[in-house]
Structure formats: C-alpha cells, structure tokens
Amino acid sequence: DQQVKQNSPSLSVQEGRISILNCDYTNSMFDYFLWYKKYPAEGPTFLISISSIKDKNEDGRFTVFLNKSAKHLSLHIVPSQPGDSAVYFCAALITGNQFYFGTGTSLTVIP
Amino acid sequence: KAGVTQTPRYLIKTRGQQVTLSCSPISGHRSVSWYQQTPGQGLQFLFEYFSETQRNKGNFPGRFSGRQFSNSRSEMNVSTLELGDSALYLCASSGRTGGYSPLHFGNGTRLTVT
C-alpha cells in the first residue's frame, strides 16, 4: 500500500528555470513532510521539511508547499542548476511511527 | 561531526547464504532505521530501533532481522538469501525522541545475490 506517491518518474528542466516536483499522499494523519535528494552511489540527503501546521517553508532556492485538503506536497527549485540533477524523494511521517517514502523523481537540469 | 557509516559498501552473496550489514549512527543519535531500495520501489521500510528496542517494523519476512547495541550501533541480518534480496540497503539515524527530526542516511550497502 503506497501511502506516498510520486507519479512522475522523471523531469527535465532548462537551467535557470523553475523545477516543480510533486508528491501525493493518502493518509491524513501524516504530520511531518520532507524532501530528500539522492545522487548515484550515495545515500539520500535531507533537503527541506514542513510540518502539517504550515503550508509553505522556504530555504534558499528551495520551497516546499503543502496543500492538506488535496493531500499534495510540492518542491519548487528556483533557479534550477545543473548540480540539482538527482533523484528526489518525498517522505511523510506520523509522529512516533515510521517514515513513508515515495518512489522518487529523477530531475535532469539541462545546461 | 561524522555522518552515518555503513559497512561494507558492496557485498556479493550466493542464494541461500546469510549476510550481516553494519551501521554506525551519528554520535548522539539513538534511533536507527533500515530501508531497502530497489528500482521502481523507492525506499521500503524494514525496521527502526531505539535504545536497543525495535520500535517499528515494516512488511518484510522474518528472514530480515536486526538489532541495536548499547552504543546505538546497529546490525541487519538477512538469512537464506533470495535473488530478490539484491538491493541497496540504507541505514538512517535520527535524533528524534518524539518531535520532528529528519533521518540522516548512510551511503548504503549494495547487496548482490547470485
């Protein structure tokens, strides 16, 4: 039962433009959401998070948006850079329980 | 501060054998979780340990087991290996004791079963 879904396996964006990565979830009990970035042969690296009491969190070029009514999470990267090319995973947590991860979206930023 | 360390980085085993993977968490982190990553499946949760006790468990067969030591280091064991166990196994530690704290991952152990 995939409670966190990333329906786009891949995304290509021109350098300097905005990258938007999407994530949907099914469990309304999730209270903490995160994005991770993964390069080949490395473990995922924490990028940004948001708690369910907020609808937006920003950190430099990265902004995460949470739409609880739609059970939808998105990550915006502005401007996109070639070094952002990686696989991005969204994750969700019910406090005290396990983290649930999506299947990942492979982002390619074209110079 | 040293990150999460996993050993070995690569393993090749034969079907039917067993394997033990090791993980050293970030200093001060008491929660250690294990994940299996396969192509198209994302990160599948195996189990989480906190203060030497298994706190959460995913939907994997009993062939997959783990333990945590008093220094928070953790090991994962897979017995009677199957071809389908070939995957990247990731360990993550967290300072989470009840609030919000992200997982910090190691670089994983790539297991190949032939």
Residue B98 has pLDDT above 60, yes or no: no
Neighbours of B98 (CB within 10 A): 7
pLDDT digits (tens, 9 = 90+) for A16-73: 999 999 999 999 999 999 999 999 889 999 999 999 999 999 999 999 999 999 999 9
- How confident is the model at residue B96, as a pLDDT? 64
Residue B100 has pLDDT above 90, yes or no: no
Mean pLDDT of B57-82: 96
Judged by CB atoms closer than 8 Å, whether chains meet at B90 and A43 is answered as yes
- How confident is the model at residue B40, as a pLDDT? 74
**Higher-pLDDT residue of B2, B1:** B2
| Chain B residues 21-80 with CB within 8 Å of chain A | 33, 35, 40-43, 45, 48, 56, 58
Q: Measured between alpha carbons, how far is residue B36 from residues A10, A69, B92 in Å?
A: 21, 31, 11
A93 contacts in chain B (CB < 8 Å): 100
Q: Mean pLDDT, chain B, as a whole number?
A: 92
Mean pLDDT of B70-98: 92
Cα B93–Cα B34–Cα B2 angle in degrees, nearest 5: 30
